[in-house]
Structure 1
Amino acid sequence: CSSDLTDPEEGAALAMAILEKLLQLRATTVATTHYSELKTFAYSREGIENACVEFDVKTLRPTYRLLIGMPGASNAFAISRRLGLSESLILRAQQLVKADHAQFEHVINELENEKMMYEQRNADILERQQRVTELEAKVARTKEELAKKKGDFIRKAREQSAAMVRRTRRESEAIIKELKEQFDDQGIKRRQQAIQDARAKLNEAFEKSRPGIMAQKGVGKAVSLKTIQPGDIVYVKKLDQKGTVLSVQGKELTVQIGSLHTKVKASACRFLDHAPKETKAAGAPAASSSRRQSNAFMQKTQTIGREIDIRGMMVDEAEVAVGKFLDDAVMAGLSQVLIIHGKGTGALRKGIHAYLKHHRNVQSFQFADITEGGTGATVVELK
């Protein structure tokens, strides 16, 4: 787009007209020029893009890097200076260049410098993004490894806990069996307390190691209200304990777990086994009277409940019932019991509190926690 036979301005105008026509025809065109007017023309026309091949002024050699969007700057003065042309001639030539042309060349040089700077920054950003991606992948792998180690640790801890519970249960049951064999009228309270302590330690270890063996799904079978009877063995799901059925009231069962009694719905239990049948070996001597009395007393102390309900009784009737209940609780080795007297007018509560103040086996008493009845029940600490 240049010619030695035309005026530069006319040549530039003619070149711009040709490029416009080619653009209308949607023809792909590559045009090389030294006209500054064409460089400005490319900036102002949609569909035309400036480009140049980078030139290293210091070495006077092309770098062969194609820069899209950047017009090439004229390096005539810089090249002349490097080739040894007189400085005075170069300065005079710069004075003769039109002001707008000089300003255009200056702007092009500034743009080229800025583009190189931004290319360097983009390269730095890309490198940092790659490092961030690598770090994120490393963090994800570390989290996965930690989750796996955590799962292995929890599984191992549960296995060890279950083994400890089984060992503790065997030891406790052995102690209880030995105590029962030695049970007689002498030292009843001391032995019964030892039994209570052993069972308490067993239950405490069992609760700490949940989920236990009995908490597994599918234990036993559904309780049938037609066939269930006192003495049968059931599993209470809510308490995660085995117990013995004492009585059946409609859809509820009274179950003995250790030395405590509790009422639960039949649907909340699982049937484990029928009541064991007592057998008597042929020719075996009858149990002595003292042994029968001891066994009966032991059974009584084992089945005593932790609470008594005296609602609806007169004060004198309640005193008799509470007195008998406290004596049985002491003999069973209980340290704390619950008396349910209700709220009502408060006469029954006052009468029972007055009775408890002078009872020989009562150490202290107070209203129950809100979960056990609040002011409608009294917790009694026994000596």
Structure 2
Amino acid sequence: HEIGPGSLVLFDELGGGTDPVEGAALAVAVIEAVRQAGAACVATTHYAELKAYALDTPGVCNACCEFDVDTLKPTYRLIIGAPGKSNAFAISEKLGLSPDIIRRAQTLVSTENKSFENVIEKLETSRVQMEKEREEAKRLREEFERFKADAEAEIRKKTAAAEQEAEKARKRAAAMVASAKASCDFLYDQMEKMRRAQESAKAAEELEAARRAVRDHLRATGDTYDPIEEPVEEDGDYVLPRPLHKGDRVRLVTVNKEGELTDEPKNGMVTFQAGVLRVRARVADLRLLTDADVKKKEKQPKSTVTVERSGGFRNEIDLRGMMGDEACLAVDQYLDEAVMNGCESVRLIHGKGTGALRTAIWKYLRGDRRIASFRIGRYGEGDGGVTVVELK
């Protein structure tokens, strides 16, 4: 009378201790009354009728406690959804009861109960098989998960190793590219040096040719430029008394000028300085002056020589459009003419542009001993496109 929604009613062997048929019917009625009151109910039983009632009635579910027939002990594992099987015959056999008695007892079981027990046995067998398969599936799944984890770890390891190798390969490739670039830069530099050396050698040859032309011209017009020039001695069999050295006083027989060597002879050539005139000359064209020659020269009366300016000489030269080496060669030849014509100041027209030509010319002018000073042109003189040179 006190049960209601939220109540829990427990029955142990409901309907037991009386006739099985009446006891089963009474148990079903009691369970229905409890359910109608809204209470939850748990009942244990061995009645097949109650097991069948649970199978046929919605809201009612069979359950059983697993029993190990081999050990005759319960496993205390609750199986939801399957009715428990009566194990009376199996337990009796395990306890030593005569097999004949057990077989006779089995024949006395009603066909209906026997069929029901068979159904339960098949369900139990299926359940056990499903449990084994589920355990196997669980084992396989766990094995697969371990394999998957190991495979993923191996993949990550190999991926990291591949990335490291790729990074090393990238670094090696970058080093190879840098090495190739450095080699190319070195080759380009060497080629540029060779080109400049060839241009310099060509310029030196052109300069020497120009100076030879100037000397030939001076010899051809000697009466005009040096009317009292002493005759050149013809001494084709002359042999230097000793090797020439820097600082020696010598006479250049091709122009009959005395001067001083500014460097050591090399490959049969040497630099000769006579006043503002500085040229490269062959050692074979030089005569070593002894102390007696120098004293004799000092005792001779000095003659006054007047150098007349050539009518075609201009005090400016246009260097625009030339390369640096070409312009420096032209300036060197022009300054020779300026000195010969007695000019004190000349203008070098190089233009403004990028300033590279002016820089090359100024670098050359700083090392020329014929020059007293030079400056950029002022307003009216050509501004930054002209350099004004004062000669010594």
**Which range, TM-score by smaller chain?**
0.3 to 0.5
Q: Which has the higher contact order (CA 8 A, sep 6+)?
A: 1
Instruction: Report which of the two structures shows the higher radius of gyration computed on alpha carbons.
Output: 2
TM-score, normalised to structure 2's length? Answer: 0.45
Question: Structure 1 length normalisation: TM-score?
Answer: 0.46
